[in-house]
Amino acid sequence: MDPTYSPEAEAYREKVQAFLAEKLPSNWNGLGGLEGDDITDFVTAWRKTLYEANYLAPGWPSEYGGAGLTATEQVILAEEFTRAGVPSGGPNDVFGIQMLGNTLLMWGTEEQKSHYIPRLLAGEDTWCQGYSEPDAGSDLGNVGLRAELDGDEWVLNGQKIWTSAGHLADHIFTLARSDPDSPKHKGISFLLVPMDQPGIEVRPIKMISGESEFNEVFYTDARCPKENVVGGVNNGWAVAMSLLGFERGEAAATGPIRYQTELDRLIEMARERGLTDDPVIRQRLAWCHSKVQIMKFLGQRTLTQFLAGHHPGPDGAISKLYWSEYHRVVTELGVDILGADALYIEGRPPSSSFQTDDPGAANTSGSWVNTFLNARAGTIYAGSSQIQRNIIGEMILQLPKEPKPA
Ligand SMILES: Cc1cc2nc3c(=O)[nH]c(=O)nc-3n(C[C@H](O)[C@H](O)[C@H](O)COP(=O)(O)OP(=O)(O)OC[C@H]3O[C@@H](n4cnc5c(N)ncnc54)[C@H](O)[C@@H]3O)c2cc1C
């Protein structure tokens, strides 16, 4: 574990700090300091700033609209953005740029790259991820959405579920069974499907927080052109797995910064409410502190490997399990510190339902209760905790494999 930065890397850090100083308002205190429409307005304008600086996909080559940064520079950029409390893109970029864009660079045809990549960066298309189905979540190889060729088009019939941002997106990248006679993980294709057509129906699902962030998506004779298959017909499993692997190495660096910022806010809230002398609260805060420290060390280990050119393998499961289970507990403490005030929701909710509230957010019930409710989902999406434990047991600790049903 030695994530040291060279003098050249530190010089790049100063460049990023100068960029932030130039582009952010002088009284900037993090996205959490903004309310209502000001949040959307800031994020829209900030995304444009990043687009113009080629910072939306900083690691991509310049021919595809990236900044061609080295791995170290990408990590530094992400660290400095996180410290400044600004997003690294717009709300859809995790699906469009991070997941699909990276996958197209790896598997896409030249036509697919030249059509979709500029549109992704310009924010012209919005995407969602159509993987999960009622009978295919943890067991994703069981996808049953049918894709059949009809002349120059694929015809799709079936259902997806838990599709985040499905109600906002105009395109869905989806896994469909194109050869029903092949074994489970074969015969699947990765398709790019426009959503603005009569064959697609999106039904929002209400979450525990009251928001409707994810959806069911029904396909009834939905269509997409034959050439919208990525990585070859019946080769979708390999494409789907590389998409899931595009967890950025820099998340190892930024996660602990975000959790530390959140914990600092929590300690401040305990202070504001006169609870820092309560021995049980002190004990629970100390537990959280120790977990964030461990996350920092875990992050530094991943970062050392990333900077040495290795991409996270199965040990990505350790940090996924760690942050998601930690976040459930720390947000419970937040609600306990609020006490009866947690029953009355007031104040700005987090701008995103994923992970921590924005840096600079006030210690309100609107912030902590919503984050507490959303934290439950963290142990399910991107692979549930049970699945992460299976991966750690089988692939890292080399324990005997879980028995398969006959
Ligand atoms: C907030 C949120 C957003 C999401 N967004 C998207 C999205 O945009 N696109 C998308 O395609 N999907 C999305 N998902 C779906 C997510 O990927 C699945 O919920 C997840 O993979 C689990 O699948 P499942 O819900 O079908 O549960 P199941 O797989 O049915 O699991 C049910 C329970 O059984 C356990 N279990 C299952 N198999 C095993 C096993 N082999 N060993 C031990 N325990 C096991 C699980 O851990 C879980 O506790 C989202 C989910 C959430 C919560």
Can you tell me which atom of ligand 1 is nearest the CA of 377?
A: 53
pLDDT single digits (tens) 124-168: 999 999 999 999 999 999 999 999 999 999 999 999 999 999 999
Q: Which pair of tokens denotes residue 375?
A: 């934290």
Half-sphere exposure in the Cβ direction for 334 (13 Å, CA): 26
Say how many Å lie between the CA of residue 139 and the centre of ligand 1: 8
Residue with the smallest CA separation from ligand 1 atom 41 is 387
pLDDT single digits (tens) 323-346: 999 999 999 999 999 999 999 999
What is the Cα–Cα distance from 144 to 160, expressed in whole angstroms? 9
Can you tell me which atom of ligand 1 is nearest the CA of 139?
A: 29
Do 187 and 234 contact (CB within 8 A), yes or no?
Answer: yes
Say how many Å lie between the CA of residue 337 and the centre of ligand 1: 31
Residue with the smallest CA separation from ligand 1 atom 23 is 137
Do 286 and 350 contact (CB within 8 A), yes or no?
Answer: no
Region of poorest pLDDT, from 7-11, 251-255, 330-334, 362-366: 251-255
Best residue among 98, 327, 381, 389 to mutate for probing ligand 1's pocket (most ligand atoms within 8 Å of CB) is 381
What is the Cα–Cα distance from 392 to 147, expressed in whole angstroms? 34
pLDDT band at 114 (very low <50, low <70, confident <90, very high): very high
Nearest to 226 by CA among 129, 131, 157, 155: 155
pLDDT at 367: 97
β partners of residue 130 = 174
- Decide: helix, strand or coil at residue 25: coil
pLDDT single digits (tens) 277-329: 999 999 999 999 999 999 999 888 888 887 787 776 788 899 899 999 999 99
pLDDT at 395: 92
pLDDT at 1: 65
Can you tell me which atom of ligand 1 is nearest the CA of 385?
A: 47
pLDDT at 123: 96
> Which helix or strand (DSSP H or E) is residue 60 part of?
none
pLDDT at 303: 81
**Mean pLDDT, all residues of the chain:** 93
Can you tell me which atom of ligand 1 is nearest the CA of 382?
A: 17
Pocket of ligand 1 (CB under 6 A): 128-132, 137-138, 162-164, 214, 377, 380-381, 384, 386-387, 390, 402
What is the Cα–Cα distance from 71 to 74, expressed in whole angstroms? 5
pLDDT single digits (tens) 204-244: 999 988 889 999 999 999 999 999 999 999 999 999 988 88
**Orientation angle between helical segments 7-23 and 71-84, nearest 10 degrees:** 40
Say how many Å lie between the CA of residue 299 and the centre of ligand 1: 25
What is the Cα–Cα distance from 2 to 172, expressed in whole angstroms? 40
- Residue 94 pLDDT > 70, yes or no? yes
> Which helix or strand (DSSP H or E) is residue 172 part of?
strand 171-177
pLDDT band at 249 (very low <50, low <70, confident <90, very high): low
Residues near 147 by beta carbon (within 8 Å), at least 6 away in sequence: 154, 155, 156, 176, 177, 178, 189, 191
| pLDDT > 90: percent of the chain | 83
Say how many Å lie between the CA of residue 317 and the centre of ligand 1: 15
Residue with the smallest CA separation from ligand 1 atom 52 is 381
Active centre residues (catalytic): 247
What is the Cα–Cα distance from 198 to 200, expressed in whole angstroms? 6
pLDDT band at 247 (very low <50, low <70, confident <90, very high): low
pLDDT single digits (tens) 362-385: 999 999 999 999 999 999 998 999
Best residue among 126, 131, 138 to mutate for probing ligand 1's pocket (most ligand atoms within 8 Å of CB) is 138
Residue with the smallest CA separation from ligand 1 atom 48 is 384
- Residue 248 pLDDT > 60, yes or no? no
pTM reported for the whole predicted model: 0.94
